[in-house]
Amino acid sequence: EQNDSLSQRDTGWMQFYCESNQEVLDTVIQAYKVAEKVLLPAMVCLDGFSLSHTYEGVDIPDQEEVDAFLPPYDPELKLDVDNPKTFGAMIFPEWYYEMRYKMQSAMEEALSVIIDVDEEFGKRFGRKYGLVENYKCDDAQTIIITSGTIASTTKDVIDKMRDDGESVGLARVRVFRPFPKDEIRKIVQNAENVGVIDRNISFGHEGIFFSEIKSALYNAPYRPNKLVGFIAGLGGRDVTYEDIENMINLTNNGDVNEVTWYGLKSDAIDERALVCSRNDSD
pLDDT per residue of the chain (282 residues) written in tens, 0 to 9: 899 999 999 999 999 999 999 999 999 999 999 999 999 999 999 987 666 667 788 999 999 999 999 999 998 888 888 988 777 777 889 989 999 999 999 999 999 999 999 999 999 999 999 999 999 999 999 999 999 999 999 999 999 999 999 999 999 999 999 999 999 999 999 999 999 999 999 999 999 999 999 999 999 999 999 999 999 999 989 999 999 999 999 999 878 999 999 999 877 776 544 544 444 444
Dist. CA 127–CA 69, nearest whole Å: 14
Measured distance CA(155)–CA(170) in Å, rounded: 7
d(Cα 128, Cα 264) in Å, to the nearest integer?
Answer: 36
Report pLDDT for 278: 44
Cβ atoms of residues 206 and 259 within 8 Å: yes
What does the longest C-alpha to C-alpha distance in the chain come to? 72
pLDDT of residue 47: 85
So what's the pLDDT on residue 77?
A: 82
Contacts within 8 Å (CB) and 24+ apart, 102-107:
103/12, 103/40, 106/38, 106/39, 106/40, 107/12, 107/14, 107/38, 107/40, 107/177, 107/178
CA distances for 212 relative to 185, 196, 223, angstroms: 12, 10, 14
Q: Are 258 and 228 spatial neighbours (Cβ–Cβ below 8 Å)?
A: yes
Full 3-state SS string of the chain: CCHHHHCCCCCCCEEEECCCHHHHHHHHHHHHHHHHHHCCCEEEECCCCHHHHCCCCCCCCCHHHHHHHCCCCCCCCCCCCCCCCCCCCCCCHHHHHHHHHHHHHHHHHHHHHHHHHHHHHHHHHCCCCCCEEEECCCCCCEEEEECCCHHHHHHHHHHHHHHCCCCEEEEEECEEECCCHHHHHHHHCCCCEEEEEECCCCCCCCCHHHHHHHHHHHCCCCCCCEEEEEECCHHHCCCCHHHHHHHHHHHHHCCCCCEEEECCCHHHCCCCCCCECCCCCC
Residue 141's contacts (CB-CB under 8 Å, 6 or more residues apart) are 167, 168, 190, 191, 192, 193, 252
CA separation, residue 105 to residues 12, 49, 71, 196 (Å): 11, 35, 25, 28
pLDDT value of position 83: 87
CA-based radius of gyration for the chain: 21
Q: Which domains are seen in the chain, by residue range? A: 3-125 (3.40.50.970), 132-268 (3.40.50.920)
Residue 21: the pLDDT is: 93
Cβ neighbours of 267 (radius 10 Å): 8
